[in-house]
Homo-oligomer: A and B are copies of this chain.
Amino acid sequence: MKIPSKHIENAVDQMASLPGIGRRTALRLVLQLMNRSNEEIAAFSDSFIEMKENIKQCKTCGNVSDKEICSICANPNRNHRLICIVEDIRDVLAIESTETYKGVYHVLGGIISPMDGIGPSDLAIPELIDRVENGDVSEVVFALSATMEGDTTNFFIYKKLKDSDVIISSIARGVAVGSELQYADEVTLSRSLINRQPFSR
């Protein structure tokens, strides 16, 4: 599709640089933007610049925040001895929206993935080790993706922490609540059998 203006072309290129947005979708979005007023477009554009300028990473856990220390780490009612290790901020939001977890987090900023050139030193793993060794931590919970990369990362951190007297756990893997057994994949189903739990009502 040949776009008749270099200004639109540039805007489409920028929009299509977002993950999961193809050029056809980008064009649709850009043309919709073009129909807005100058003020609306300025508000749209400024929101991203303003976010970049004002957003900070929590010095303790790596979560995003408007302050130096995020609202979760600054909350005295949370259990600061229980740390949940997650890949990125969206995982924090997902767990927070369950309203069942009362500990704190440690955001790695990714997982070990040699294919993408991401090694342990690219992630917030040293900060985690430091936090566990020099802080008052009783348990860390792995909540990374159940992929090869996630398991590698789990194992790498486990090796670093296994000599400290902290409890190391992982979120349960099994058949999802509300889903039918016959549609669960074999690995999930076998894991859910191996990790069976005492029945309780």
Contacts and interface: CB of A to CB of B under 8 A. Distances in A.
A11 interface: yes
A43 B18 CA distance: 13
A64 interface: yes
B1 A50 contact: no
A14 B43 contact: yes
Interface residues of A, number: 58
Interface of A: 1-8, 10-11, 13-14, 17-21, 25, 27-34, 36, 38, 41-55, 63-66, 70-72, 88-90, 92-94, 96-97
How many copies make up the complex? 2
Closest 9 CB pairs of A and B: A45-B45, A14-B47, A11-B51, A7-B51, A11-B47, A7-B54, A18-B29, A14-B44, A41-B52
Contacts of A50: 7, 10-11
